[in-house]
Structure 1
Amino acid sequence: MSDVELRGVEKTFTDGKGGTTRVLHGVDIVAPSGQFVVLLGPSGCGKSTSLRIIAGLEQATAGEVLIDGRRVNDVPAAKRHIAMVFQNYALYPHLSVLENIVFGLRVRKVPKAEREKRATEAAEKVGLVPYLDRRPSQLSGGQRQRAALARALVSDAKVVLMDEPLSNLDAKLRQQMRIELRSLQKELGLTVLYVTHDQVEAMTMADHVVTMRDGHVAQAASPEELYVNPVDADVAAFIGSPPMNLLPVTRGTGGQILLPGGGAPWQTALQAGPGRDLLLGIRPENLAITHESGDATIPGTVKATEMLGAETLLTVDLAGGHSLIARLPGIVRAGEGEQVLLKTDPESLRFFDAESRQRIVAVPQPASA
């Protein structure tokens, strides 16, 4: 096992016409040995570029890449003891599954008997032994992904890098492969860096999540910490399914929070100056329907209902032209245009500065407390 670290890594691309594009801005990432670390963010945030720099497929413009505490900036990709699993699997169509798995070993002139022994062991781990004689075109998407993973495992790599490896699979297979990949990583004690834009993958698989935005690390923390204590409004809105509701509110002169559209003010212990514009963050699952008005309640009108079986998503229009989503357990029958009153737990609320979008750390308290 190995730990991996990026220290102050920057990356600038040139367009051949004298122009430059800076895609990484002093990125710091740590992947401790034996952990499953996810780089999470929208397209263009720099997560794949970071992964390619670790692999040695791209050269950092500045900063350091370390594996096991050793600087490897100038070490060729082939000598970094890293395996990579790509989104498109990168399998040779004219070779059998077995030949694909052992291809790298054959290039390194590993004896045939050892190649086949290691390939069989890897195939057993990923459940591919019955398919070793088949071509990639004869495999399902999940089986191709397992073949790509087996090829990574036979290399005896210290680190496995995965770039959107499940994005080409259907929803059911993605869920199954998430469980299998995580189980295999734990069983083998692999250090995994995994790139995805899917926050469900990040939350369900990772020991540690590095959220990236515009070439910067926005927040690096455990999945639970990201969910409960997002560092800013953008992280809050990216984590969760559905994501956190963000409503513009104002801090009143008496310490209350003034809701949009003139709703009843909420009393809180929030430390913010009077008149300050804020964003109020409410997780959809922290909302419920109530029939008693009071602190931490919001009136609204049902705009849409999505019945998902075990839960129901309500889109509710609020006064002032805003809306939010409530995630309610079970089947909730609420028709379009119906008036509802939503309540929330004050301790679950999060506040952010409207201008900087940074979190204001405080635990709101109801007036009756």
Structure 2
Amino acid sequence: MARPSTVRGVLAFLRAGDLRARLRVTRDGRAAVRLNTGAAALRTGVLDVLAGGPAATSELARRLGTPEEDLLAAFQRVLAAGGLVREDRGRWSLTAGGRALVDDDLVRASHEAFAGFHTGLYRELGPLLAGGPRRRDVVEEGGVIARVSAAFEPFVDQVLRETVAAVAPRRVLDVGCGAGLQLAAMLEAAPGAEGVGVDTDADAAVLAERTLADRGLTGRARVRRGDARDLAGGAEAPFDLVLLANVVYYVPVGERVPLLRSLARLLTPGGVLLVVTTAATPQLTSRHFDLLLRAQEGAMELPDVDVLVGQLRGAGLEPAPPRRIAPGMPLVAVPAVRPT
């Protein structure tokens, strides 16, 4: 039975201030601590060391090269309270949750991204509003962004397979190929096709090459670091299917029609440009991502879907109606055909 003092405390809490807001901020604060705890465990190397087997605090300190053993022990207790590690007779080991954070790359990349530049945007928003230098997350965090984008892969994969079945391409191009997941999906859906992946980020290009090698597709595809527009007139063009997935928002608005027009020229007559993108909507996720983009160097922003359709027409293509492809997320796909 609760003590009278406890009951009075609960009643006082319920009566004071905005209860819903207080509960929400408490919940969100705990989630923020949990997210940053996991990210710190990755950054410091604690979880990666324990992935190799249990270790005492002294051994862990030695392997991490830290002289602050007491501080490390306190951090391990935080990780234990968060369910990432456990202690047994003086030795620390990973829990199932800690193992998932180490082994599931999407979980790992999400901790790195959301405890890093995604929330760093708001910690550093004051200087930005005061006219300070724009952020460089897109340039400096390309590898992490490509890894986090893997969360969309199942949804993009489905629309890709449908498009490949309709087009029956012999040559495919993935513009801004990131980790190469969509390029691999197109090639797997079209066993007789060859493909090219292009990305301006060196880390992303390495990830794409690794994906192709892991899936046995190296002999059917090449990954290039650079601008897809440089492929015009080359031996690798034209293509029957060009994919532009989660890329268009990195392009300044004034340059989007010229880019789309250049990609249209890379298509065979009757070929398809498939644009997949997060769109500008009133949702919090969309608004946050749009702000993050606008805070970057390079005049980036999320596209309005109706405007994007008009830009595709302005590039000489014939777009089909856009469709949402991920439940609860502002992710849309717009196929556009080059007229014959």
- Could you say which TM-score interval applies, normalised by the shorter chain? under 0.3
TM-score in terms of structure 1 length:
0.26
From the two aligned structures, give the one with the greater helix fraction: 2
The higher relative CO (CA closer than 8 Å, separation ≥ 6) is in 1
From the two aligned structures, give the one with the greater strand fraction: 1
